Chains A and B, each alone.
Chain A
Amino acid sequence: MSPLERRKLFTGLAFSSPWVIGLSVFLLYPLLAALYYSLCDYSVLLPPVFVGLDNYIELFQDKLFWKSLWNTTFFALGSVGLGTFMALTLAILLNSKVKGLTFYRTAFFLPSLMPLVAGSLLWFCMYAGQGGIINTLLAKIGITGPSWLSDPHWAKIAIIFMAVWGAGNSMVIFLAGLQDVPVSLYEASIIDGANWLQRLRNVTIPMISPVIYFNVIMGIIGGFQAFAQSLIMFGPTTAGYPEQSTLFYVLQLYNVGFMDLRMGYASAMAWVLFLIILGLTFAATRLSKRWVTYDR
């Protein structure tokens, strides 16, 4: 290596060092430490004791693990599915040329700026089974609304609706994608006699498929990390209420790690979650090859 090359190497390393150090100290090290702890009986306050795969074996027999995994999957799929649909619909509507467009865009984006705690408390009031605004409105059209937050069958769905309400972020990303679609394609399709629906199916959706893909992946990752909603709405002592129907995976992980001081077991849970998200992302990437169009 010539002195010049060496100097260049050092310069390169020095410039990338913030990232390299950040990644290894704040991501790689915790990741590997958690992997090691997941193989230990580790109460945080005492040195870890190696127990091999015991935590993982116990995990797969733990009914609360499966319960929380089911709750989380339900929530993630529900909020991603409904959220993507809503955000895309709104984005398409807001991409048309109507009067007061900026107002509508702001109005639909606003909820996503609401802090999670304030939003949760607001929805808590709206969901009241008796006297809540949602059920009062439903009653006006002759529907007896459920006890949203105290009926185990409805609580998860209620939290999904709440998540969809804050879909403003993905809406803005969709909107940016939509505005990127070349007008020439629309013009060509109009000349070919395509109607609105055909244009949507054959031009818009394929052209913004990378954006949809991005939003779905981010949605899944976010959905699997659901935590605060349940904690805020039902309080720390009865988190997961009613009947553990909102006991999300990360909430259970927190309970086990920080309340029961079983950090080894919690680490095992964290690694399983990591692998699930990794697997889903991988699957989505493979699937995306079939329907995501990158060429312009």
Chain B
Amino acid sequence: MRLASALCALVLFSSACSDSQSDKSTGVRHVVYWEKWTDFEGEAMGRVVDAFNAKEREHARAEPSYRPIEVEMVTISAIEQKLLIASAGGNPPDLAGIYSFMMPSYADKGALTDLTERAKRDGVERSQYVGRYYDLAVHRDRLWGLPSTPASVALHWNKRLFREAGLDPEKPPATLEQLDEMAEKLTRWEVTLASGEKQIKVGYLPDVPASQKRLLQVGFLPMEPAWWSYGWGFVFGGKLIDGDKITAASPENIQAYEWLASYSKKLGVDSVQRFRSGFGAFASAQNPFLSGQLAMEIQGVWMYNFIKKFADGMLWGAAPFPAPAAHPERRGTANAEVDQLIIPTGSQHPDEAWTFIKYTQRQDVMEELCLGQRKHTPLANVSEAFYAKHPNPYIRLFREMGASPNAWSSPKTGVWNEYGRELTTAADKIANLNISPQEALTQVQTRVQISYDRDRSMILRRQR
């Protein structure tokens, strides 16, 4: 009995170690696909996988010598870390869905299969895509993946709060100056008078001491959410990186963070801290935008889903983020990224994985996927039916935002994680008025430049 169970364990162990052994006997080519999405986004991708597998089985029925591909999708959380460990251990999945900002670091370290030749052979071209989304998969002139679903962001505003403040609810700010003006009109306080009586007052109230006022509603806060607080420089014409130079402390970036600090000066650091610490989690009804505490904020194409879930019936709008009046051409400056399908180095079935990737790039398949994930499509051609069926009323806008020359994406460098983190911390300190933008950004620039140079020498060493 003991011997039998030991043998069982051994058999189980060895079968777990050699997953491709069974393929030869059944004639099926297994492709293991790691995907980061769960929930409805994951289900949408699951339907694409099912349709692909069904098509393959159909092919095998019609042509008995054909060995069908079967994609097995596994949902993986924290894919950044798990893909890393699996790749380092020499046992990566055959195919993976990653975020565009992960790609450069992985590609630089030889962890991705170069898809340039395959794409050329099969007629996959940049012109078939919204340029930005294709370019995000290109690094050092090679193609490392293909887009799945993209995401872009825009200014969201609460129409009810606009009306209550006496503003036209259908008219979002057209310039940055207008945004600042509207934000003031949309800011409301509860002021405690000397008599103990409480009054609601509108505006910034610099003369009322912080102990006598409490924020009820704010028009706009550059640090809410803090997700893109590294990107404010773009609105002012700044860049994060220029060639091999980290340009965090460029005059444009400093100007941007001075603008960010102006909100803390107008509202008072203490009041803002107190107000923000009352906000609930993003995915909850206590999200400040959903609860009506914040009238305007930058949010992505996904925000529609959260409005539907937590604040159904809310009157809202989305518009391009405004630009400074002197530079109207910068209207719609906003972050755009894309999910990518990649083939890790060491994939057991790179050709089969590529067949699946190519399948997802068909217009009908991609539209089905993006509709399921409630995003826009990264492809150049979009059917009218896609827009007609799409639940997000602003889906065309998000598509335009991603296609706009003003859209920006995370710089393609292996040190982006550190750079982004440093900038977010700097923004946090600047917003608390603990440090001047000039000083904070110079510190970031010095620190990240060192990391960048180190990373670069590693790449050069590898190329040699």
Contacts and interface: CB of A to CB of B under 8 A. Distances in A.
Nearest to B82: A258
A130 B214 contact: yes
B7 interface: no
A253 to B, nearest CB: 13
B351 interface: no
A41 B421 CA distance: 21
A143 to B, nearest CB: 12
A174 interface: no
A260 B277 contact: no
A41 B451 CA distance: 13
A273 to B, nearest CB: 20
A132 B278 CA distance: 7
Interface stretch (B104-112, B136-144, B235-243, B367-375): B104-112
Given A238-B226, A242-B428, A258-B84, A45 B110 contact: yes
Interface in B67-88: 80-81, 84-85, 87-88
Contacts of B280: 125
A237 B105 contact: no
B178 to A, nearest CB: 28
A149 interface: yes
A86 to B, nearest CB: 25
Interface in A25-46: 41, 43-46
Contacts of B415: 260
B117 interface: no
Given A147-B273, A238-B226, A243-B434, A45 B84 contact: yes
Interface of B: prevailing SS? helix
A147 B268 CA distance: 13
A128 interface: yes
Interface residues of A, number: 34
Contacts of A131: 278
B87 A261 contact: no
B417 A150 contact: no
B316 interface: no
A46 B106 contact: no
Contacts of A45: 84, 87-88, 106, 109-111
Interface in B416-450: 417-418, 420-421, 424-425, 428-429, 432, 434
Contacts of A243: 425, 428-429, 432, 434
Interface residues on B, range: 35 or more
A150 B88 contact: no
B227 A237 contact: yes
Interface of A: prevailing SS? loop
A130 B425 contact: no
B343 to A, nearest CB: 15
A149 B280 CA distance: 12
B461 interface: yes
A168 interface: no
Nearest to B83: A45
B461 A261 contact: no
Contacts of B275: 129-130
Given A258-B81, A259-B417, A261-B414, A150 B87 contact: no
Given A150-B276, A260-B415, A261-B105, A44 B84 contact: yes
B383 interface: no
Contacts of B274: 129-130, 147, 150
A140 to B, nearest CB: 16
A65 B418 CA distance: 14
A249 interface: no
A152 interface: yes
A147 B84 contact: no
A127 B277 contact: yes
A133 to B, nearest CB: 12
A238 B111 CA distance: 27
B277 A261 contact: no
A35 B425 CA distance: 31
A260 B273 contact: no
Interface string B361-380: 00000000000000000000
B338 interface: no
A128 B270 CA distance: 13
Contacts of A124: 281
A144 B274 CA distance: 11
Interface in B187-229: 211, 214-215, 226-227
Interface of A: 41, 43-46, 49, 121, 124-125, 127-132, 144, 147-152, 237-238, 240-244, 255, 258-261
Interface of B: 80-81, 84-85, 87-88, 105-106, 109-111, 211, 214-215, 226-227, 270, 273-281, 414-415, 417-418, 420-421, 424-425, 428-429, 432, 434, 451, 458, 461-462
17 contacts: A41-B458, A44-B88, A45-B106, A128-B279, A129-B278, A130-B215, A130-B275, A132-B278, A147-B273, A150-B276, A151-B277, A237-B424, A255-B421, A259-B421, A260-B418, A261-B84, A261-B109
Given A46-B109, A238-B226, A255-B418, 19 more contacts: A41-B458, A45-B88, A45-B106, A45-B110, A46-B462, A129-B275, A129-B276, A129-B278, A130-B214, A132-B278, A147-B270, A147-B273, A151-B273, A152-B432, A238-B424, A242-B432, A243-B425, A258-B81, A260-B415
Nearest 9 pairs of A and B residues by beta carbon: A129-B277, A45-B109, A130-B278, A147-B273, A129-B274, A259-B417, A147-B277, A150-B277, A150-B273
